[in-house]
Chain A
Amino acid sequence: MHEMSIALEIARIAEEKLGDAASGLVGVAVEVGDSAGVEPSSLEFCLEAVFSTPPFAGAQPYIQRCGGDVLRVAWLEIEDGS
């Protein structure tokens, strides 16, 4: 139920890291632990929605399952404008 809040927080982290380059974001990897209290497919759905609205222009979410209560942004993939 709280996956949208988490997706928005992930978007905030991405925006903070990328600044003006946010529109070039093409991939976001998120590590989700088995006991993180997050439903992976629901989070994926929310991430798709969040990352298709400005300043983003449609980035692909990658959910990486792992153990424990890990919940973190692993990496961001950006396309350089050049």
Chain B
Amino acid sequence: MAVRTIEVRERVMSRNNEIAADVRSRLAAHDVTAFNLVSSPGSGKTTLLERTLAALGEDLGIAVMTGDVQTQNDADRLAAHTTRIVSAVVTNGACHLDALQVRSALDNVDLESTRILFIENVGNLVCPASWDLGEKEMIALFAVTEGEDKPLKYPKMFRNAKHVVMTKTDLLPHVPFDMDRAVANALSINPALGVFRVSATSGEGMEEWFDFLRTSARRVVAP
């Protein structure tokens, strides 16, 4: 019996990344800007999307893909706010979405009439950071009910994100959350991070978020 070694040097994520590149080119061909929303469970991804769909869903041609371990409850909640397409992906136990699931779900989305696609990832600050889905950018949500040191505990997510949305700011008077320290922690991991401060419940700060989305939608249709 002879033992021999085969050099491989292949990146483990290479297949996922190839599929993500395919998703990216399909989206680009239709001028669709995709955002991958990530956060802990309960940080307000679905509520932020509910308000966003109600305000801008029709104007900006927003489509949503929701990832959940079980149930399509989030997709059902969002569908109540829009006639636009909400596509549910149930991961059946997996802790993240991968590019293959997104590419398959893309078949249910009318890309012609879509300008912004939100991919609501599984609530989890660890695993989704490793899977490129073909999005333009990852956006992390960070609720004021969480610890200010969350970016330090989960650096990869905050390093990969381009924006962080501080959510539930209406609760600030009731919780011992130090907003400045939380934002400083996020920026210490990723100094280029853009920061929004919103309350989807009171509407505070939402206009700035909406403006960002309007600009994102415009940018892709410009020649």
Chain A residues with CB under 8 Å of chain B are: 1-2, 5-6, 9-10, 12-13, 17-18, 26, 30, 35-38, 69, 71-82
Contacts and interface: CB of A to CB of B under 8 A. Distances in A.
23 contacts: A1-B95, A1-B127, A2-B94, A6-B12, A9-B13, A12-B15, A17-B8, A26-B3, A37-B126, A37-B127, A37-B130, A38-B130, A71-B11, A71-B13, A71-B130, A72-B8, A72-B9, A72-B11, A73-B8, A74-B7, A75-B5, A78-B3, A80-B3
Which range contains the number of B residues in contact with the other chain?
20 to 34
A6 B129 CA distance: 13
B222 interface: no
B29 interface: no
A12 B155 CA distance: 29
Given A26-B3, A82-B1, A82-B2, A76 B126 contact: no
B131 to A, nearest CB: 8
Chain B interface secondary structure, helix, strand, loop or mixed? mixed
B4 A30 contact: no
Nearest to A70: B11
A73 B9 contact: yes
A33 B95 CA distance: 21
B197 interface: no
A12 B7 CA distance: 16
A37 B158 CA distance: 12
A37 B3 CA distance: 32
Nearest to B12: A71
A63 B155 CA distance: 22
A58 B94 CA distance: 25
Given A2-B126, A17-B8, A80 B2 contact: yes
B96 interface: yes
Contacts of A37: 126-127, 129-130, 156
Contacts of A12: 15
B59 interface: no
Contacts of A35: 155-156, 159
